Amino acid sequence: MNPQASSEIANDTLQYDNEFWRFSLAVYSQAGVAEECLALQEAIGADVNLLLFCAWTGARAIVLSGDDIEQAMALVVAWHDHVVRQLRSVRQHMKGLEFERFESFRARVKSIELEAEQIEQAILFAHSKRLQSARKNARDAVAENLKKYIEMKSGSKSLAAPVLVDAAFHSRS
């Protein structure tokens, strides 16, 4: 992504409650979606927010190019790696300590982690306004976008996210 476009997004007022965030909440809560996304996170280092972004844009019948996905990844990689993942790590380590008296603190860390995810999605939502992409049948667009992202992360053409594809197609707004 060119530096000008990146700084334009950085200077935008981020809209935290947006259609992408609402789509993500609706889709992620569907049976099997969280498990599938978390399995891809664990197996190939997928960013769940980018999986959801690929699904959301596809549900809007937008087919992302490899460059579109790379630009989206570049926009959020620092935030995801240095904020979201670090908060997740802290929360997970606290769970392993088994100090019940710290559970309320752990719950607040989880809440902050969710807020950090919402900020990441707001960055992606701002980026989506700049996308100029081909249009396609929504189900096919969702599947194609997810396939591209998963292949970029894993190098494998055999991994897929069929539960997410189905949930995204049925939750499109």
pLDDT at 12: 62
Confirm if 37 and 51 have CB atoms less than 8 A apart: yes
pLDDT at 13: 83
pLDDT at 124: 97
Domain locations in the chain as residue ranges: 3-171
pLDDT at 2: 43
pLDDT at 9: 55
Quickly count: other Cβ atoms within 10 Å of residue 154's Cβ. 15
pLDDT at 104: 87
Say how far apart CA 92 and CA 73 lie, in whole Å.
24
User: pTM (2 decimals)?
Assistant: 0.88
> Does residue 98 come out as left (phi exceeding 0), alpha (psi in the -120 to 50 range) or beta?
left
pLDDT at 103: 83
Digit-coded pLDDT (tens) for 104-146: 888 999 999 999 999 999 999 999 998 876 778 899 999 999 9
Q: Nearest CA to 134 among 66, 35, 71?
A: 66
Confirm if 23 and 53 have CB atoms less than 8 A apart: no
Instruction: Enumerate residue ranges in the chain where pLDDT < 70.
Output: 1-12, 98, 133, 172-173
